[in-house]
Structure 1
Amino acid sequence: MQPTPHAPDTLFPDSLLVEVAWEVCNQVGGIYTVIRSKVPATMPAWGDRYCLLGPYFPNMAQGEFEPYDDLTVHTGADPFAAAVRTMRAQGYDVQIGTWLVTGRPRVVLINPFQTYDRLGQLKSDLWARHGIPAPDNDDLLHQVIAFGHLTTVFFQHLAVQKAAGQRLLGHFHEWMTGVAIPELRRLQVPAHLLFTTHATLLGRYLAMNDANFYDHLMWVNWEAEARHFNIEPAVRMERAAAHGSHVFTTVSELTVRECIYLLDRIPDAVLPNGLNIERFVALHESQNLHQQYKAKIHEFVMAHFFQSYAFDLDKTLYFFTSGRYEYHNKGFDLTLEALARLNYRLQQSGLEGQVVMFFITKRPFTSINPQVLERRAMLNEVQETCRAIERQVGERLFYAAAASQDHKLPELGAMVDDYWKLRYRRQLQSWKTNALPPVITHNLVNDGDDDILDFLRRSELLNHRHDRVKMVYHPDFVSPASPLLGMEYGQFVRGCHMGIFPSYYEPWGYTPLECVARGVPAITSDLSGFGDYALQNVPEPENKGIFVVHRQEKSFDESAEELCDMLWHFVQLSRRERIIQRNAVESSADIFDWKNLRVHYDRAYALALERQ
């Protein structure tokens, strides 16, 4: 049963809410999506009593942040603007304005570099007061410490500016902002503080380096491991925030155990992540959009593969995975193993069709592979020649139809000039090759030490003609500016048939949720927050296109076989069955709308207001 949201006019009318995140107007990772997508559901309930706070990085904020033209217009009944005005009068570099996203919330951005001349004292105080060390050679830590101090100053001024009887809520996301919490408590600033860890810093490092992370979790010596990975200052900041907050939360039941053993505090609440589903709704256009963007992927596939050999695009399925390059954590290893098994099954089965699998991630590269660019450019020339021939034949055929007394279709080849015939033949002769299509689109800085390429080489998944699963490793974000795919990531997702995200470590996981929101079936795992939430809250999720691979208490081999079975079942669906499934997927997306999930935040705020 899904929770029913509170009526907007009943939400804490005597309270102010400041949501603090490193990724406010600063797109770095997944927290940006959490904060930005939640705004449209937050604003109707909080309105002018809501403000976001983040660090000011002008290059990142450009295009996202619109400053107030005249601050004096806002300071009268606006305690946030009044606090900013007071800070400016004291010489602080602090901005206030609007975040240019749906809902247009108020935003305060503070330049962390303005206090670098006091870093020595701030670091000394942090150690003396809270036992948090800070090395001299870590600029991110320096930014975090400086921003933490400035956040404390802002809250002090805001506490003075708020109206009599108003209560102040501060909601801090992740360790980068949480460093202010212990200092706010020490100074007894009258604010009710919440801290949310979306993934414990130490947990992410441990999971990347321990194939049995969950089995070993309860035995971890957090202090020794933090020093081992050279992240002790950040881990201590995270622990101080968790223990200093009035209410401590995380994003999934999976990370609750992590918090208990690595941060030594049981979370007070779980705040599952959602999306602003309205942004994705296409209704009857869903199938048309799929066809439109699939045609764009067809163009890439023809350029990439058809120079070597051709196959029937009408019987080709497009699978993909995407996300941060964490080979084990993101389940890339499991995905590759399942695809190798699927390739063998398809070869043995005699079934028609192909699968083209895209790995979309970010790796250091020097350039796009010139061979890949050349293939695309040569196909573009062939396409232009075909269009010229099409125009010429079209004009002459129309004239012949109008002038002729013969009702038979004339010989179309005779309507093409020798110039275009020769050009067409020369282009095809120079385009075709016996070389295998590349498995990677870019030249990596170090391709000899890449886990994906290593697996493809060892398993001989190298795009042979007889391979029924073809591989495209694209180590860069999908962008309209790219000469290869030339489309937005969301468009690429809509053009694919399935997303595959069987993560080993994933506190939440937006990639499968973004698929579901666009009507694309997705595979997740029971070790991802999203997968676990779907198992607990979505009846028969597989009927809604959400497939959950079981990885808890399963061996790698068992999980790989289960994933292969899921893919095998999917490739055998008819086109009609896939269309029905896509419609079912999109209709289930409302379950994950912030309008329904925001109630978890509301309950956490109510709990924080009860605690002093």
Structure 2
Amino acid sequence: MAVDEIIKPDYLFEVSWEVCNKIGGIFTVISTKAGTIKKELDDNYIVIGPDVWMETHTNPYFEEDQLLYRAWRMQATSEGLKVRVGRFKDGKGAVAILVDFTSLFPQKDKILAHLWEKFGLDSITGGWDYVEPLLFGYAAGKVIESFYEYEVFPQQKLVTHCHEWMSGGAILYLKENLPQIATVFTTHATVLGRSMSGHGWPLYRNLEYYNPEAVARELGLVAKFSLEKTAALNADILATVSDISAAEARKFFGRDVDYVTPNGFDISLIPDSDFENQRVEARKILINTAKTLLGQEIRDDAFFVITSGRYEFHNKGLDALIDALGYLNKNYKGDRQIIAWLMVPFINTGPNPILKNRLEGKEPITPTENEFLTHNLYEPEQDQILSAIKKNQITNSGQSRIKVIFVPAYLNHLDGIFNKSYYELLLGCDLSVFPSYYEPWGYTPLESIAYKVPTITTSLSGFGQWVLQHYESQEDIVRVLTRKEDNYEEFYQAIAATILEYTEKSAEELRLIGDKANAMARDFVWENMIEHYWIAYSTAIDKAMARSDLFRPRRTIEHPIEIAEKAEAPWRKILVDPGIPARLEGLVRLSKNLWWSWNNEAIELFSSIDEKLW
């Protein structure tokens, strides 16, 4: 589609369970993309998420603004919709609407029954982990409808972009109730694909032979899969983030994917200046933490390997990385220390008290073995990462050159040990490893090269495939290792060999590679990738316009005005009852309170604030 043929929406609603709710990669997609779209649409770009923090009022990603769309918000409240309106802090201040969908709980059975009758949505086996996201999406659809009725002119073009099955309810609600709104549904990771991979099923080799409905029943995913597939079939546009996820979608949904919309990157997050000083500072923190935890000397030239992301042991390749480190632990003959940082958030009890006390000088630092955690787990004996470390006989002893440190905490400046962000610590590492088996895109390796850290990824990740398709000789920046269902041992040994290869590079070689990596990352900035989205939105608008005969009239709130038939009217004596609403009675009391005009202390107070204005 030519640039001059693209029709951009007047309003764009982006709906996701991860709006102002940091869980995984979709939060990063939306938050980093928001600035680029906001430049085009300003406050007509609106993100919608669940108000999961409503009982605490301390959502760190949302700042409420009582004046923003105030009149509509009051109208929505009168319609029984509970919303908070404000700004998405991590999303360049984009308008954010958080939806309290709990008011739909009493109507749950009625809504589910209606969606079964209307769309064949099979919710009968769905638990609350299905019902809540469904009701959120449904409520989001009602919110968009209310906003359309109150704020939008009939001729304006609207697009609603929903991410993954959790927001599928919005697609279904709008399909039935507001056909003039164009819809886009993006599946980042399919329900079945993620679960099958996590269970060790050979997803790619046998993809064409699976029966999706049978697989959903066997894995207990009937309701979630039904919502995902139904949303995909009823959206104007079906999109995925990579060719590898497009193949899944075609098989599981029985519909061709309209567009592949690869993820971009917000380069403004990367420090332009003082980069080396920040790297030095990050290395000092990592060295000191390792030294304090292990009670061992950590040399300045220690080679730092890092991985991060969602805790999916097999899907993210954590098993392969730990086996690679175990292989090195048995075969590495070099002198340089190799320390692997597994920055994978998981439920934890808080900072490791021994480490924290040592860092604060409350306990002496003494040598330890079999110490791996910066933050303690509730059931460490059941943890897959710790079990794999033990299986590979990695002990973190003083004699071993291979050490592994597990950081199961969100690094948001408040973790109690590092008190830095993940990106601030990433700067101090030498190589990142993301050996995923299931990775529809893969933000983490892209983030890594942006921060001048070369990376290892796989041929089964969307990002890895993109690199193989678009770059010929960037192996020193992004090493894409071939991963298959039947080459596991060869694969993890290739990881070990690549780590070893990079440990032998000089500091200057790594610096030059880092500079080239940062330059390569700039190819993926949202300014370069956003066109894929505009094209998808434009096509969705075309499809919506083609069904204009189905558009329903826009409901309006009428305010009748009586006009006198004669210019002259008889004079009558009347008594006026002001009828002030109860919520405004305080203004009446305030209007009659003139104590500040005669009370000397009050006069001094107001005068001290601004004498000239007073």
Q: Same fold (TM over 0.5)?
A: yes
Q: Aligned with 1:495: secondary structure?
A: coil
CA contact (8 A) 1:122 1:145 kept: no
The CA deviation at 1:581 is 1.3
Equivalent positions of 1:7-18 (< 5 A) are 12=7, 15-18=10-13
User: 2:570 aligned with 1:575, yes or no?
Assistant: no
CA contact (8 A) 1:519 1:586 kept: yes
User: 2:60 aligned with 1:70, yes or no?
Assistant: no
CA contact (8 A) 1:11 1:45 kept: no
CA contact (8 A) 1:155 1:189 kept: no
The CA deviation at 1:526 is 1.4
CA displacement, residues 355-410 of structure 1 (integer Å, 9 cap, x when unaligned): 01111223344454454445445xx369xxxxxxxxxxxxxxxxxxxxxxxxxxxx
Quick one: structure 1 residues 585 and 13, their matched pair in 2 at CA, closer, same or farther if it must change by over 3 Å? closer
Equivalent pairs: percent with the same residue? 28
CA contact (8 A) 2:200 2:314 kept: no
Q: Aligned with 2:530: secondary structure?
A: helix
The CA deviation at 1:513 is 1.6
> For residue 363 of structure 1, what is the amino acid of its counterpart?
F
Q: Aligned with 1:41: secondary structure?
A: helix
Corresponding residue number in structure 1 for 2:429? 496
Corresponding residue number in structure 2 for 1:178? 168
CA contact (8 A) 1:159 1:189 kept: no
Equivalent positions of 1:94-113 (< 5 A) are 94-101=83-90, 103-113=92-102
Corresponding residue number in structure 2 for 1:418? none
1:219 to 188, 191, 209: 209
Q: How big is the alpha-carbon RMSD for the aligned residues of Structure 1 and Structure 2?
A: 2.6
Equivalent positions of 1:332-351 (< 5 A) are 332-347=318-333, 351=334
The CA deviation at 1:555 is 0.5
**Aligned mates of 1:507, 1:255 — CA distance in 2:** 5
Q: Which has the higher helix share?
A: 1
> For residue 591 of structure 1, what is the amino acid of its counterpart?
D
CA contact (8 A) 2:309 2:343 kept: yes
Please give the TM-score of this superposition, normalised by the length of structure 1: 0.82
**Aligned mates of 1:262, 1:344 — CA distance in 2:** 43
Corresponding residue number in structure 2 for 1:511? 444
Quick one: structure 1 residues 301 and 48, their matched pair in 2 at CA, closer, same or farther if it must change by over 3 Å? closer
> For residue 248 of structure 1, what is the amino acid of its counterpart?
L
User: 2:105 aligned with 1:116, yes or no?
Assistant: yes
Q: Aligned with 1:357: secondary structure?
A: strand
Corresponding residue number in structure 2 for 1:412? none
Residue correspondences, number: 541
The CA deviation at 1:495 is 1.3
Quick one: structure 1 residues 48 and 457, their matched pair in 2 at CA, closer, same or farther if it must change by over 3 Å? closer
1:204 to 156, 177, 194: 194
2:453 to 492, 499, 520: 520
2:293 to 264, 280, 304: 304
CA contact (8 A) 2:351 2:415 kept: no
2:45 to 43, 46, 50: 50
Corresponding residue number in structure 2 for 1:475? 408
2:490 to 541, 558, 562: 558
The CA deviation at 1:496 is 1.3
User: 2:341 aligned with 1:358, yes or no?
Assistant: yes
Quick one: structure 1 residues 449 and 13, their matched pair in 2 at CA, closer, same or farther if it must change by over 3 Å? closer
**Aligned mates of 1:549, 1:510 — CA distance in 2:** 17
CA displacement, residues 123-146 of structure 1 (integer Å, 9 cap, x when unaligned): 221222222233587333332232
**Aligned mates of 1:43, 1:345 — CA distance in 2:** 53
Q: Aligned with 2:32: secondary structure?
A: helix
The CA deviation at 1:188 is 5.3
**Aligned mates of 2:416, 2:541 — CA distance in 1:** 53
The CA deviation at 1:177 is 0.9
**Aligned mates of 2:535, 2:117 — CA distance in 1:** 35
The CA deviation at 1:94 is 2.5
The CA deviation at 1:521 is 1.4
**Aligned mates of 1:504, 1:511 — CA distance in 2:** 14
Corresponding residue number in structure 2 for 1:254? 244
Corresponding residue number in structure 1 for 2:254? 264
The CA deviation at 1:219 is 1.7
**Aligned mates of 2:91, 2:51 — CA distance in 1:** 20
Q: Aligned with 1:477: secondary structure?
A: coil
Corresponding residue number in structure 1 for 2:31? 36
1:228 to 218, 239, 243: 218
> For residue 605 of structure 1, what is the amino acid of its counterpart?
Y
The CA deviation at 1:264 is 1.6
Q: Which deviates more, 593-602 or 103-112?
A: 103-112
Corresponding residue number in structure 2 for 1:606? 538
**Aligned mates of 1:565, 1:68 — CA distance in 2:** 53
Please give the TM-score of this superposition, normalised by the length of structure 2: 0.82
